[in-house]
Structure 1
Amino acid sequence: MLVFGESILNDAVSIVLTNTAEGFARDDNSMVTGWETFLQALGYFLKMFFGSAALGTLTGLISAIFLKHFDLRKTPSLEFGMMIIFAYLPYGLAEGIKLSGIMSILFSGIVMSHYTHHNLSPVTQILMQQTLRSVAFMCETCVFAFLGLSIFSFPHKFELSFVIWCIVLVLVGRAVNIFPLSYLLNFFRDHKITPKMMFIMWFSGLRGAIPYALSLHLGLEPIEKRQLIGTTTIIIVLFTILLLGSGTMPLIRIMDNEESQSRRKSKKDINLSKTEKMVKKKILAVIYPSSCRHTQVDRC
């Protein structure tokens, strides 16, 4: 769940950052200093992030209150329809007021899973879960099919040095993001995030359709720049999915084996230390038979 939640939040933040960059690219900031530009970008990012999160949270709470006080359990079809409306509502509202729709959906989904879900009838709960799982599976399949077809459908521009530097910066950026924030979160968590979990989160950070979709919507001129960004994004996506994604489970098994071996070794050391202590007692009892009693061997 940590890996899944981190990846979802990462995609949402990437969309907000891209919208921030595009907004400043459209505006005329020629008379603004670098420090003022940074502050404006930071303010725009915070407005997008917290505004979208607040809108999604508010929508989720409204759905929970609505389904709690309006009994729709006798009409599961109407209850299911209202859930679909409330699920799409934060996205439409956020996009309509120039906020991040995916960020609103993220926080709305968190709130609805904790509160709204328990106000539904058992029939609607099962129906909603199975429907959303099926739709999510079909959408994910279509997205990755489009991603695979795009390799052969669009013109590409490849530069090896640019690709290598982008991959290195992606890995370094994830390390700077995950490790300090995980240590910070451990001060507020009952179940601590172990260094092993942090490393798995860093290693299994898969890039998918969201970065590629963002690269396609960048208004870069000339067209060669857009092709370079798109090609590099596809390579990074394939690198993370094929190499890092396929290596995640073997890495977890290797780390589990090393951890189990270290536990067995420590247990063996404990047993050896007990044996050595017993041998020492017997030797002391033989050397000092008259001055040491059986219960006072350790003192001699």
Structure 2
Amino acid sequence: MYVKQTTARSDSLAQPDLFSSESHFGAIVPNKQPAELLPGEPIHHESVHGREGEGHESTEHGGIKVIKVDFEEVETPFIIALWIFCASLAKIGFHMAPKLSHIFPESCLLILVGLVIGLLLNYTQSVHVSPLTPKTFFHFMLPPIILDAGYFMPNRLFFNNLGTILLFAVIGTLWNTFSIGLSLYGLGFTGIFGGDVAEHLTLLPTLLFSALISAVDPVAVLAVFEEIHVNEVLYIVVFGESLLNDAVTVVLYHMFEDYATMGENQIDTMEIVKGIASFPVVALGGTAIGIIWGFLTGFVTRFTNHVRVIEPIFIFVMAYLSYLCAETFHMSGILAVTFCGITMKNYVQANISQKSQCTVKYAMKMLSSSAETIIFMFLGVSTIHDEHNANVWFIIFTILFCTVYRIIGTIVLSALANKFRLHKLGRVDQFVMSYGGLRGAVAFALVLLIKEEAVNKNNELRKMFITTTIAVIYFTVFLQGITIKPLVCWLKVKRAEKRKPTMNERIHERLMDHTMVVLESIVGQTGHYKLRDK
């Protein structure tokens, strides 16, 4: 007797059926013959009987189990979902206790929950879940928060105060970066930070650290300023600054990282010119990408009359695509999704149904709230699990310089902005602006991105930067975040009025806008009124 194996039969023998319980033990699947009998070829009985024997032996030890427990298969998503569930329960309990919610910001509670979870995981040492990586933060956590801020941003206030916002976002960030960096670099020569630190703390790594620590975090600002309900002008100036200084911060960060990797001897005039030229490219490029995707969303939603159910999908997906496109070309993703949300609010909202608008509103709020919960909670977890190098004097002087130079910058830039503003920024407003410069997850994510080549291949210096960044975040979120509420009440800062404008107010507002457009056309000038009318 002979055996001739066909292609289909041999494939079924070599690759057993994955849905068969016996295939895991190497047994031949029933009703499938491994060979086709033909005369002239011998049968290999050993392989068949061997496989049957293996299958019989495995069946005796294995068998079908009615209940199985395989926690390793779902360990990571289960733990993350459990963390979010516990944090959500903590938020419910937090808001059910009026005394706690009146004193502490919600971000403080979430960091404390993360600290507790980090201690439990460190104590048990049985569950290993990776902390919040910079890639996860920038690609998944940050976009929904910024989209929510851009989509529901008061556009009129934002563009009316755009000059002041740009002044603080660009000039203010440059001032903080270079003043903090040069001050820390100068103190390094005194030896107060220790001999090892002074040896590796050169100019470029110090400027790299000062660039990331100077950024006002939009996540932290949103979390605190929405709770204290400051007036609209103060809110939009501080929040707008925290959004737009991302362009300056990211460009400075990557520029100093490239310079530090290259080495001071390799930097020439052309490299400095290219670094300066990258500022407008990143800012304007990210803005243009966001506006283009916003217009595309408005065009697509014109044809969703018969499929209303998918309207929210276009808003979320196309806004996320604007962020990813900007990051692909190394533009400002935050600016892209911010201006995409602003454009959508003007050109998309009129195209979608009332139910879709309600869905978009609550889904966007839910996503941003969940992202904030995860960010602050993982910040607390990372505090316990990361290796640290705490240089006390470096931490103290970093906090001191961040506070002092922000106050100086706010006073000087406010005086400059008041020369061109109709509604002046008073002393109380300037104090809240300087005191509300909170640092948060953006600085923490950037410091985790630092490569050892950028810090003279000294891992201890990198750990010191990480520890100092966490200390600054805790100082601003806990101390400034807790005390800003009573300070706002004590200083009698004007609060926001929670009411919608009446029909009469809206008509007169539009009438004045059109009147100003006519006057600008008569005198031959093009101002923001004409742009707004478009």
Common fold: TM-score over 0.5: yes
Which of 272, 286, 298 matches 1:64?
298
Q: Which amino acid aligns with 2:321?
A: L
Distance 1:97 1:13 in 2: 16
Residues 106-185 of structure 1 mapped to structure 2, 5 A cutoff: 106-185=338-417
Question: In the comparison of the two structures, how many residue pairs are matched?
Answer: 255
Look up the match of 2:42. none
Q: Is the 8 A contact 2:438 2:473 kept in 1?
A: yes
- The answer on 1:8 being equivalent to 2:238 is no
Q: CA deviation at 1:213?
A: 0.5
- CA change 1:169–1:106 in 2 (3 A) is farther
Q: Determine whether 1:226 maps to 2:458.
A: no
Which has the higher relative contact order, 1 or 2, with Cα contacts under 8 A spaced 6 or more apart?
A: 2
RMSD (Å) for aligned C-alpha atoms: 2.5
**Matched residue type, 1:9:** L
1:195 aligns with 2:424: no
- Could you tell me which residue of structure 1 aligns to residue 160 of structure 2? none
Corresponding residue number in structure 1 for 2:491: 255
Question: 1:244 aligned to 2:480?
Answer: yes
* Alignment partner, residue 40 of structure 1: 274
The answer to whether 1:102 aligns with 2:102 is no
Task: Give the AA of the match of 2:339.
Answer: F
Percent of residue pairs bearing the same amino acid type: 31
AA aligned opposite 2:402: V
1:158 Cα deviation from its structure 2 partner: 0.8
For 2:421 and 2:245, the matched residues in 1 are separated by 20
| Alignment partners' CA distance in 1, 2:421 and 2:349 | 25
Contact 2:248/2:279 (CA < 8 Å) preserved in 1?
no
Distance in 2 separating the partners of 1:162 and 1:36: 33
* Deviation digits for residues 75-134 of structure 1 (CA, Å, limit 9, x no counterpart): 222211111122111111111112222221122223223433343221111111100110
Cα distance in 1, alignment partners of residues 292 and 421 from structure 2: 25
C-alpha contact (below 8 Å) 1:7/1:206 kept by paired residues: no
| Alignment partner of 1:52 is 2:286 | yes
Task: Name the residue aligned to 1:22.
Answer: 257
Return the alpha-carbon distance in structure 2 between the equivalents of residues 57 and 120 of structure 1: 19
**1:155 is aligned with what amino acid?**
E
Stretch moving more, 207-216 or 190-199: 190-199
Tell me the distance in 2 between the aligned counterparts of 1:60 and 1:193.
33
**Cα distance change, pair 199–73 in 1 and its aligned pair in 2 (3 A):** farther
Gaps of 5+ in 2: 1-234, 495-534
1:242: Cα distance to partner?
0.4
- Larger CA deviation: 76-85 vs 207-216: 76-85
Cα shift at 1:245: 0.7
The TM-score with structure 1 as length reference comes to 0.76
1:11, CA displacement in angstroms? 4.2
Deviations 1:174-218 (A, max 9, x none): 335434444444456554433322221110111111100000001
Instruction: Letter of the 1:158 partner, please give it.
Output: A
After TM superposition, give the deviation of residue 27 of structure 1 in Å: 4.6
- Tell me the distance in 1 between the aligned counterparts of 2:394 and 2:359: 47
Aligned mates of 1:203, 1:222 — CA distance in 2: 34
Q: CA-to-partner distance for each residue in 1:122-159, whole Å, 9 max, x for gaps?
A: 11111111001101111111111110011110110011
Please tell me the residue identity of whatever aligns with 1:215: V
The structure with more radius of gyration: 2
Change (3 A) 1:236 1:42: same
CA contact (8 A) 1:218 1:226 kept: yes
One-letter amino acid of the counterpart of residue 316, structure 2: I
Greater alpha carbon shift after TM alignment, 1-10 vs 23-32? 23-32
Q: Distance in 1 between matches of 2:421 and 2:343?
A: 19
Query: TM (normalized to structure 2)?
Result: 0.44
Letter in 1 for 2:277: G
CA–CA separation in structure 1 for the residues paired with 2:430 and 2:400: 18
Distance 1:8 1:51 in 2: 15
**What is the alpha-carbon distance in structure 2 between the residues aligned to residue 246 and residue 19 of structure 1?**
33
Question: Secondary structure of 2:383's match?
Answer: helix
TM-fit CA distance, 1:53: 1.9
